[in-house]
Amino acid sequence: MDPDLTISKITGIGKYYEYQLRKLNINTVEDLIYHFPFRYDDFSQIKTIENIQTGEVASIQGVIWQIKNVRTRSGKFVTVATVADQSGTVEIIWFNQPYLTQTLKPGMQISLSGKIQFDGFRPKLISPSYEILKSAVSQSRSDLVQGLTLHTGRLVPIYPETEGVSSKWLRAKIAKILPDYLKNTEDFVPKQTLDRQKLANLTNALNYIHFPKSQDEIEKAKKRLAFDELFLIQLASQLRKMNWQKTKIAPEMKVDKEKFTKFTKMLPFKLTDAQKRAIDELLSDLKKETPANRLLEGDVGSGKTVVAAAAIFVAHLNGYASLVAAPTEILAFQHQETLAKTLSAHGINVGIWTASKKQKGDVTIGTHALLNNFKPEKTTALVVVDEQHRFGVAQRGQLFINQSGKLTPHLLTMTATPIPRTLALTLYGDLDLSILDEMPKGRQKIATFVVPNAKRNKAYKFIEEQVKGGRQAFIITPFVEPSETMTSVKAAVQEFEKLKTKFAKSVKLGLLHGKLKSKGKEAAIKKFRKGAIDILVATPVVEVGIDVPNATIMMIESAERFGLAQLHQLRGRVGRGKHKSYCFLFTNSNSPNSLKRLRSMEKINIGFELAEIDLKMRGSGEIFGLRQSGFINLKVADLADRKAVSEAQNEAKELLSFDSSLKNFPLLSQKLNKLQPEYIQPN
């Protein structure tokens, strides 16, 4: 069976299921095989009827003696059956499933799993899972089912589901397809690696993850499949690094100490220690002929621009041009303004290259899209890519490498996403990392409070008072889904209507969500900025990328559903002016863990520390919505597991050290290309 076969080509899976399965990211046969259970019901305890005990979860097997539907007084259906084995009989009850009598008939051999309950007289099975045993039943009960049942009498896998696609359905399909799939699948991980790491082979791992016979098999499967994910990420990033360094030569620059000291003296502020460190790291990159590929991470406002400016200055002294790529036109103009402030005094002409304005300079700022076709007048020695909040695109900078003819420019990517160092090293093993983990002095701290439901009205009152005092507020509506769908827009509109009743008539509310036309969005933001709106109600996914110094309150609903790093970034929208600012985190959750996590927002105002906490408490998939981003699709591995990460890293190194092109491992090479074609640099 072709692993890439479209799923609807399988007998019994038509267009309807193709459509539904797409919601689970299942498009091909292989996607279905790699749709893993997130837990298992332990129905492995098979008992004779005389031995079942109230309160336990157990499975029994026997013959249906009788089965009938009974109507209750309230008009509902109850299906009552009696099942017998050699040791006795037991009554089975199902509610509201009258159609069961169409499938289950007296005389049939059946397997049942569920919780045994006591009805006051004797144990009963209420709403158990069932399955008909098609095979003939022998006299000895013990060899009856092991290996034959799918939904009962074993460790039963429970999968992520969607409309029309139940775990029972998935189980049946996977059981049918898996043997065929495995017949044509060879293990892509080298044998020596598997042996050294004591890992199960792929066939076993896939069998175990779906249909384990024991807890031990589940563990073995997870260990192997997690290894695969980490191993592939590591191989990809190490290959990228090797290709980047092997074939490319960058301009080798000199740093004139005297001139550079003058540059720092002329800045309107003193550099933070973190900025000094980052600048040192970047300048020593520029002195080498290996092209730098550095990621600069720092919260919004941590002062990344001046780090870039320092490198642009040095490139200029060496007779080279630089390029700065911004995600939007507005940000391009903003960068031009800020950089001009620092660089013009040194005779550096700061140009702009966007849809509306084109003017080349010694350094030119442009949007990502347009810079691709930009032809500089001098050799470009440095490319700075400002990614803002976007994630997983740190490689995009490499798109700009062809612009300088023979020489490859040094590359600096800047991001405001606080990816913890451990995580960054895994994902971006090929990048060097500089972190601004320190804010310039004098920034005000935003007073942050987790607000329980009981104090909700008090918080509204407080907001109203602030508004009466001339301030403004953001209210972020409940997080419904990770992307902007009609559901979350509807929730936002409902919340908006509700909020109108909470505040005095004089308080002016505005609504901003992603389904508004861009004109409507602009209008709302403009009004808010002008002060014509007091409270801007916005959906969580709206990038509130606006600077409104008069806004002093950020209120977030269903805060527990956000990553801490995301909350921190939302919070960064206030506290930009001279007024004291506040962040209110509303939650309906009573879970101690959830509250503890949120409370860390009250104490900590450094993005990296918050991201680390999330990494420990929720695992890597949850932070930054990584799991949904499609950038990495980790189903089993946890990037917070440092031991597993470093083992995979070492194995990747080991393998590449004696076969850097993987020519002896074509299956592995194929797998890499298939998973992340953009991972491997075309040369």
Q: Which residues contribute to the site for ligand ADP (CB under 6 A)?
A: 269-272, 275, 298, 300-306, 440
Which residue lies nearer to ligand ADP by CB, 440 or 577?
Answer: 440
Which residue lies nearer to ligand ADP by CB, 440 or 545?
Answer: 440
Which residue lies nearer to ligand ADP by CB, 148 or 271?
Answer: 271
To the nearest whole angstrom, how small is the minimum distance from the Cβ of residue 424 to ligand ADP? 17
To the nearest whole angstrom, how small is the minimum distance from the Cβ of residue 542 to ligand ADP? 19
Count Cβ atoms below 10 Å from residue 248 Cβ, excluding itself: 19
Whole-angstrom distance, CA of residue 181 vs CA of residue 394: 35
To the nearest whole angstrom, how small is the minimum distance from the Cβ of residue 319 to ligand ADP? 26
Whole-angstrom distance, CA of residue 312 vs CA of residue 321: 8
Which residue lies nearer to ligand ADP by CB, 276 or 455?
Answer: 276
To the nearest whole angstrom, how small is the minimum distance from the Cβ of residue 418 to ligand ADP? 12
Which amino acid, 314? V
To the nearest whole angstrom, how small is the minimum distance from the Cβ of residue 346 to ligand ADP? 16
Whole-angstrom distance, CA of residue 304 vs CA of residue 331: 14
Alpha-carbon torsion (582, 583, 588, 594), positive or negative: negative
Please, which residues have CB within 8 angstroms of residue 386's CB and are 6 or more apart in sequence?
304, 324, 325, 326, 327, 331, 335, 414
Which residue lies nearer to ligand ADP by CB, 389 or 527?
Answer: 389
To the nearest whole angstrom, how small is the minimum distance from the Cβ of residue 306 to ligand ADP? 5
Which residue lies nearer to ligand ADP by CB, 223 or 277?
Answer: 277
* CB-based contact 318:254 (threshold 8 Å): yes
Whole-angstrom distance, CA of residue 77 vs CA of residue 74: 9
* CB-based contact 110:151 (threshold 8 Å): no
To the nearest whole angstrom, how small is the minimum distance from the Cβ of residue 255 to ligand ADP? 20
To the nearest whole angstrom, how small is the minimum distance from the Cβ of residue 423 to ligand ADP? 20
To the nearest whole angstrom, how small is the minimum distance from the Cβ of residue 335 to ligand ADP? 8
To the nearest whole angstrom, how small is the minimum distance from the Cβ of residue 527 to ligand ADP? 25
Tokens in use for 360?
């080349």
Which residue lies nearest ligand ADP, judged by its C-beta?
Answer: 303
228 CB burial (10 A radius; 0-12, 13-18, 19+): buried
Which residue lies nearer to ligand ADP by CB, 263 or 584?
Answer: 263
Which residue lies nearer to ligand ADP by CB, 450 or 611?
Answer: 611
* CB-based contact 561:600 (threshold 8 Å): no
Distances from the Cα of 192 to the Cα of 12, 225, 234, 654, angstroms = 40, 17, 17, 11
Please, which residues have CB within 8 angstroms of residue 109's CB and are 6 or more apart in sequence?
61, 62, 63, 132, 133, 137
Which residue lies nearer to ligand ADP by CB, 275 or 669?
Answer: 275
The helix or strand, by DSSP H or E, that contains position 22, with its residue range, turns out to be helix 15-22
Which residue lies nearer to ligand ADP by CB, 178 or 435?
Answer: 435
Q: Minimal CA–CA distance to 572: which of 299, 390, 338, 389?
A: 299
